[in-house]
A and B are shown apart, each in its own frame.
Chain A
Amino acid sequence: MGIPSKDRIRAKLKANNTVIRILLAHPMHTGRAETESGELIPAEFIQDIRCWRNDVEVFTVKCGTATARNPYFSFQLTSGQQGDKIKIRWVDNLGAKGLVETIVK
């Protein structure tokens, strides 16, 4: 299973709802795993994911370490139309940030 090199996002209009799918590229280390030489890999995981639609905040996910590697999320927003701007921002426990944007198709 290769690690996708960048965050991906898809937003599609389906039966009058906006279906959003996100795939983030992140190792999500729990802080308990060891390398082959027996050293602990320090914790590194996404803590907070937020979603905006046309600059209105609609959805927040807070993650612990037990979210799988390369986190995948899928959810729906009521109504919406083609051309809506969907924006996702994430922050991990080390302060790294990511931003992905797309337009509803």
Chain B
Amino acid sequence: MDKLDEQRRTILKGAISASTLALVATSGLLLPQRLLAHWPTDAFNAKTVENALLALLGQTEVAEDEAIQFKVGAPPSYAINGASVPIEIQSELDNIEQVLVLVEKNPFPLVMSMDLTPEVKLPFKSMIKIAEDSPVMAVISAGGKLYKTTRFVEVDIGGCA
């Protein structure tokens, strides 16, 4: 009788820990993607520019504005290799809170999103991938308003393969 009881205990214990593990695994706590809870998955997985803006900023009303100096490619608006296209963003706007870069025809348009503190000063330079000839947008959120500058870029070899 005692022996049976003990067996039952181990089986029960085993069952409980197994089910807990299964729960944890299915809840996604072990998935590395969840390590960055603040990474805006919806925005980066959005398939259109509008959806990306909506997911990230909650609005799509963007004023076309030349207050942003935006350079893509070298020479400007042209890139031989879409796998690394230089970009440069400069602006005289005050209170810039956020800067986004979007490539309209990429599988996922949102390339990067920068959160700026008042201590940061533009110009910002980086390299991005561009899949095919496409408009590239820089969106700046400053003082509660959104500003956008678009450049059309020609790419010889697509870079998102």
- Residue from A57, A69, A74 within 8 A of B83 (CB atoms): A69
- Residue from A32, A48, A56, A58 within 8 A of B39 (CB atoms): A48
**Is A68 in contact with chain B by the CB < 8 A criterion?**
yes
Decide if A71 touches B127 in the complex (CB within 8 Å).
yes
Q: A65 CA to B115 CA in the complex, in Å?
A: 18
Decide if A65 touches B108 in the complex (CB within 8 Å).
yes
**Is B128 in contact with chain A by the CB < 8 A criterion?**
yes
Residues of A within 8 A of B33 (CB): 93
What count of chain A residues pass the 8 Å CB interface test? Answer: 33
- Residue from B117, B120, B126 within 8 A of A71 (CB atoms): B126
B129 to chain A, nearest CB (A): 5
Q: A65 CA to B41 CA in the complex, in Å?
A: 12
- Residue from A65, A66, A77, A91 within 8 A of B36 (CB atoms): A91
Decide if A74 touches B126 in the complex (CB within 8 Å).
yes
Residues of A within 8 A of B83 (CB): 68-69
**Is A102 in contact with chain B by the CB < 8 A criterion?**
no
Q: Which residues of A72-102 have CB atoms within 8 Å of chain B's CB atoms?
A: 72-78, 91, 93-95
B36 to chain A, nearest CB (A): 5
Q: A78 CA to B120 CA in the complex, in Å?
A: 6
A residues near B, CB below 8 A?
17, 30, 32-33, 47-48, 53, 56-69, 71-78, 91, 93-95
